[in-house]
Amino acid sequence: MELCVALDLSTQEENLALIEKIKEHDVWLKVGLRTYIRDGEDFLKAIKQINPDFKIFLDLKLYDIPNTMADSAESIMGLGVDMFNVHASAGKRAMQTVMERLSSYKSRPIVLAVTALTSFSEDEFQDVYEKGIADKADQFSKDAMDSGLDGVVCSAYESASIKDITSKEFMTLTPGIRPFGEDAGDQKRVADVAFAKEARVDFIVVGRPIYQSKNPADVVQRILEQL
């Protein structure tokens, strides 16, 4: 299991200051929608200047018509990131089109599909998808695997079932991890590290417990010790 630190602070300067504090640790860095819209490709380059060994997860959750998603995925190839994601609910044809487009490259980033956002409650999810989270996450995961993707984004509560119906090599990345029992905030389906390990999660994403701490490097170290 690997740790992915969410760079969700309100300015580029704050994010870069956080990266400086944790640059000695072997972690992934997650660049989300707000950060990328605000700071763009230059921010990705700035990360590598601090530590070229950092791996970057570009969390944009692509969702559009198949050709536009494939065009966007091809553009992401030029950014030098190590992982990105799409929405599984865009459909199998869209996911297949993305992977077909990337197949011409000698190497490519890890590609994951978002199943159910961890901010959804069960009732909220059913209002949108007319099906329960667990069942739909399983279905989305099968679709993603059949489409050639490397894994999915899900909550820790769906990870074990997804591994069972796909394969142990099919990756799961789980946001909403609260390593020391912190407040859930705007997330509904949160878990701790021990639960994530039991659920065979491959990547955990931790944000607020790290960047709201007075000593982010110490929190990162404590999480890595748990892993």
Provide the pLDDT for residue 189. 59
> pLDDT-based confidence at 215, cuts 50/70/90?
very high
DSSP lists the bridge partners of residue 191 as 177
Looking at residue 191, the DSSP 8-state letter turns out to be B
Looking at residue 90, the DSSP 8-state letter turns out to be G
Alpha-carbon gap, residue 27 to 36, rounded angstroms: 19
CB half-sphere exposure, 124, CA atoms < 13 A = 9
Catalytic residue numbers read 61
| Listed residue (169, 162, 171) closest to 142, CA to CA | 162
**Mean pLDDT throughout 7-17?**
96
Please say if the pLDDT value at position 119 is more than 90: no
- Between residues 185 and 154, the one the model is more confident about: 154
Please say if the pLDDT value at position 111 is more than 70: yes
Predicted TM-score (pTM) of the model is 0.92
With beta carbons less than 8 A apart as the criterion, state whether 187 and 176 touch: yes
**Mean pLDDT throughout 70-90?**
97
Provide the pLDDT for residue 87. 97
pLDDT in tens, 134-168: 999 999 999 999 999 999 999 999 999 999 999 99
Alpha-carbon gap, residue 164 to 82, rounded angstroms: 26
With vertex at residue 42, the alpha carbon angle to CA 38 and CA 46, rounded to the nearest 5 degrees, is 115
> pLDDT-based confidence at 203, cuts 50/70/90?
very high
Looking at residue 7, the DSSP 8-state letter turns out to be -
Structure tokens of 208? 């607020």
